[in-house]
Amino acid sequence: MASTFDRVRFASRLTTRRLGRTLMVRAEVGSTNDEAWDALAVDAPDGTIVVADAQTRGRGRAGRAWHTAPGRALALSVLLHQGCDRGSLGLLPLAAGLAVAQALETLGAAPMIKWPNDVLLGGRKVAGVLCESRRIQPAPGYPTSPPGREGAPAGARDAAVVGVGVNVAQDAGDFPPEIAETATSLALAGIATDRESVAAAFLDALEPLWTGLQEGGRAELLAAWSARADFWGRVVTVRTPAGVVCGVARSLDPDGALVLVLEDGTETVVLAGDLEAAPEEARP
Ligand code: BTN
Q: How remote is the CA of residue 101 from the centroid of ligand 1, in Å? A: 15
Distance CA 234, CA 216 (A): 30
Residue 155 has pLDDT above 70, yes or no: yes
Residue 140's pLDDT is what?
Answer: 72
Mean pLDDT for 202-215 is: 97
Which pLDDT tens digit goes with each residue over 22-44?
999 999 999 999 999 999 999 99
Cβ(180)–Cβ(79) below 8 Å: no
Is residue 48 within 6 Å of ligand 1 at its C-beta? Answer: no
Is residue 67 within 6 Å of ligand 1 at its C-beta? Answer: no
Distance CA 212, CA 95 (A): 10
Environment class of residue 142 by beta-carbon count within 10 Å: exposed (0-12), middle (13-18) or buried (19+)?
exposed
Q: Which of 35, 66, 67 to mutate to test the pocket of ligand 1 (most atoms within 8 A of CB)?
A: 66
Going by CA atoms, what residue is nearest to atom 11 of ligand 1?
A: 163
pLDDT band at 282 (very low <50, low <70, confident <90, very high): very low
Is residue 167 within 6 Å of ligand 1 at its C-beta? Answer: no
The four Cα atoms 216, 218, 221, 227 give a dihedral, to 10 degrees, of -150
Is residue 114 within 6 Å of ligand 1 at its C-beta? Answer: no
pTM for the whole structure:
0.93
Distance CA 200, CA 19 (A): 9
